[in-house]
Amino acid sequence: MVLVKKKTDDFGQIVLDKNNVVVLKAKLSSGTNLTTPQGNALSKVQSNSNTFDVRSVSKQNANGYTITNSDNLIINDFIKVYSDGSGSVISDVVSLK
């Protein structure tokens, strides 16, 4: 899940702040590893580039805000949320960045 804040630009328009993004990964337990693509994304985020390439198709939400697969997002945090293995209760939230 990619969480992108909104901001007001220089023209007074509300836009997505693609330089202020949080990535959230939900896992069943603390021992559940990231997938290879997720691990690669985390490595890139932890590097000096601190960026995240959107790989999915372009998405527009109900308010008309769009993230495209050509966007290069600046990640402020990469968070892993996990449960006790049941998926029903959050056990912990950990920053991986």
Taking the domains of the chain in order of start, what are their residue ranges? 2-95
Cβ atoms 89, 33 nearer than 8 A: no
Condensed to tens digits (0 to 9), the pLDDT of residues 76-88 reads 899 999 998 877 8
Q: Does 10 score more than 90 pLDDT?
A: yes
Give tens-digit pLDDT for 30-72: 899 999 988 888 888 888 777 777 777 777 777 888 888 888 8
What are the angstrom distances between the C-alpha of 25 and each of 7, 67, 81? 24, 18, 6
State in Å, rounded, how far the first CA of the chain is from the last one.
Answer: 15
